[in-house]
Amino acid sequence: MRPIQITDTTLRDGHQSLWATRMETSDMVPILPKMDKVGYWAMEAWGGATFDTCLRFLDENPWERLRTIKKHAPNTPLKMLTRGQNLVGYKHYSDEIVHRFTAASYRNGLEVFRVFDALNDIRNVKSSAEAILEAGGHFQGTISYTISPVHTIDSFVEYAQQLKELGAHSICCKDMAGMMTPYVTEELVTKLKKEVGLPVQLHCHYIGGMAPMNYLKGIEAGADTIDTAVVALAFGNSQPAGETLVAALRDTQYDTGLDFDKLIEIAEYWEGVRTAKGYKRGTTSLLSLEVYSHQVPGGMMSNLVSQLEIQNASERLPEVLKEIPKVRAEVGYPPLVTPMSQIVGTQSVLNVLTGKRWSIVPQEMRDYVLGYYGLPPAPINEDVLAKVIKDSGKEPLDPSIAPGSLVTTTYAEVEEEIGDLAKSEEDVLMYALFPNEARAYLERHHGDVEDKIFMTGDEANVDREDEETMDVRHIETLIKALDSSGVAEVVISEGDSQVALRKANAPGTAPAVPAAAPVAVPAPTVAPAPVVEAAPAPVTEVAADERPANWIAVTAPMVGTFYDKPSPESAPFVAVGDTVKAGDAVCILEAMKLMSEITVEEDSVVREILCESGDALGFGDVIMYVEPA
Ligand code: CO
């Protein structure tokens, strides 16, 4: 017998893949005790996009979510997904922040840390690994699986070996785009087991439907653990259904031993939540299957479609799909996972829309090309590299310098910045990762008593708002008392801590959640949007018929917002009368969540500027006129 272990991903990847990460803690609490009794190897319940979605859209404290899950599911190890040096954010954080965040995650209830880097660059994982081992957690080193001429089975095994050297307890093969195939899985798992010797976990997204076959071949080859979701949050962009795998392996040497009837009861609960909230179930479409032809992951595809819609250029999708593999090859075949999927996708859209490949290179792509995200899997195309070096005036980062080591923000600096608003280390860390969102959250809840979700059977003393004190033994009694009291909120003291219990449907109970909101794909390391300031660039107006014939219009290559300077503190790029050299930036266009510099094609003199910072521009709108020098 070699029982297969199951990690349930419903509480993290399931809703991140299908519900735009909008599952609320109150959705989870009623079913957690039952899920806790299943005997999962772990429940993936935190990390990934859940942290910032809690702050941004759900008005929830992510740390409180973690503590609540742990409280109601104390027996099952909780797992999180982290992006190494990027933690649960979209840029590198300093080693100190990585260490403190990891220690705090462990302290608040996490045990298993699945760490991946989009580029499989071991330097971006090192600090996380040290912090996890120091805290006493399980370090699951992760391979970001992709297909390219430089990504071979041996290259993945070699990376797994590096993860082992950092102290990994297990290895995860992460197939975020659903591109793994059964016989590749078999070969990869066989080699990992033989050459690396650590437990192997498979994380496949269903998408085109290969995942259950991959799991079966992987299990036969020695995989120890597989990731599945409850059927209501399975299939499509999510994981395969746990119920399917448990049934498939029953009465074999791989029998999971999980109680199928219990799984069905849990599935019924989630199906109820799904229908009540109006979310679609995971499905496989023609688009999902096309991934085997163009290799553009599903999540990235929906992003491209919406970018092109905004640009009024939906009909150009086929060109963009042809452009993506070209761009990806030119920049060394990065796996198309966050943030590389956005960076490569946007560059491809720009290349198609401008009609001149690489004429506009957003800051994020420049940083990637110069090595600031990590080492590209293969060398960058020489022409692209030369152009980026020339445009940015920067040399590539010395490979002996880890990109994360360039970030030196200390905890003390962040703590001072947020000041009294933060009441705990967790609050400070929240601010370190998402300054704007965390500040807004902390301001909204400043002086609040702690929000807490109670379960039937919890005991509490109740301090009613009208100051009568009630002794309430059980939660049903409490809810009845609340219903009959006519007050919207009661404050409960439990030991030293005070918590607020709000009556359902009372104002402020549930933050409005946009139903079926678009998937939030936060822009990677976007420079802060320049603020429109009082003194705009001088604008001279010349009547159209008075413009000399040799003036050249600089136009917006796409729909976006015009800025005359790179940041609020800097001087404008140009003023009327300035001389500019070919390739010089004259303004910024913010489009598709990225800041792109617009350049002039030949040495010229700026003759007329038609826009002011903050102006919304359409495709082809004239920004300024220049006269060739
Ligand atoms: Co996933």
Q: Is 55 exposed, middle or buried (0-12, 13-18, 19+ CB in 10 A)?
A: buried
CA atoms within 13 A on the CB side of 304: 29
Q: How far apart are CA 548 and CA 17, in angstroms?
A: 55
Sheet holding 560-563, edge to edge: 594-599, 585-591, 560-563, 616-617
User: Tokens standing for 393?
Assistant: 């005036």
The pLDDT of residue 496: 47
- Cis preceding linkage at 74, omega within 30: no
Measure 207 CA to ligand 1 centroid, in angstroms.
11
Q: Are 8 and 36 contacting, i.e. CB atoms less than 8 angstroms apart?
A: no
Ligand 1 center from residue 41 Cα (angstroms): 17
Report the separation in Å between the CA atom of 48 and the middle of ligand 1, taken as the mean of its atom positions.
Answer: 9
Distance 143 CA to ligand 1 centre (A): 12
Cα 344 to ligand 1 centroid, rounded to whole Å: 20
When pLDDT is cut at 50, 70 and 90, the band that residue 134 belongs to is: very high
Residue with tokens 């390739």: 583
How far is C-alpha 175 from the chain's CA centre? 15
Integer Cα distance of 527 and 596 in angstroms? 10
> In angstroms, rounded to a whole number, what is the distance separating the alpha carbons of residues 159 and 118?
13
C-alpha span between 409 and 407 (Å, rounded): 6
Do the strands 560-563 and 616-617 form a parallel or antiparallel pair, or are they unpaired? Answer: antiparallel
Whether 283 has a pLDDT exceeding 60, the answer reads: yes
Look up the pTM and report it: 0.79
More confident site: 535 or 610: 610
In 260-283, which positions are buried (b, 16+ CB within 10 angstroms) versus exposed (e)?
Answer: eeebeebbebbeebbeebebeebe
Q: How far is the CA of 67 from the centre of ligand 1 (A)?
A: 23
Confidence class for position 265, pLDDT limits 50, 70, 90 = very high
Alpha-carbon gap, residue 178 to 292, rounded angstroms: 9
Using the mean position of ligand 1's atoms as its centre, give its distance from the Cα of residue 304 in Å. 19
| Residue given tokens 């093969």 in the structure block | 173
| Distance between Cα 401 and ligand 1 center (Å) | 30
- In the reported structure, the alpha carbon of residue 175 is separated from the centroid of ligand 1 by a whole-number distance in angstroms of 7
Give the closest residue to 324 by CA, choosing from 300, 308, 356, 292: 300
User: What are the pLDDT digits (tens) for 541-577?
Assistant: 677 778 888 899 998 888 888 999 887 778 899 999 9
Dist. CA 452 → ligand 1 center (Å): 29
Lowest mean pLDDT segment, chosen from 216-220, 285-289, 496-500: 496-500
Helix (H, G, I), strand (E, B) or coil at 235: coil
CA of 40 relative to ligand 1 center, distance in Å:
17
Q: How many residues does the chain have?
A: 629
For every residue of 485-546, DSSP letters joined together read H--SEEEEEETTEEEEEE-TTSTTSS----TTPPP--PPTTPPPPPPP-SSPPP-----GGG
Mean pLDDT over 416-438 rounds to: 95
pLDDT in the model for residue 467: 46
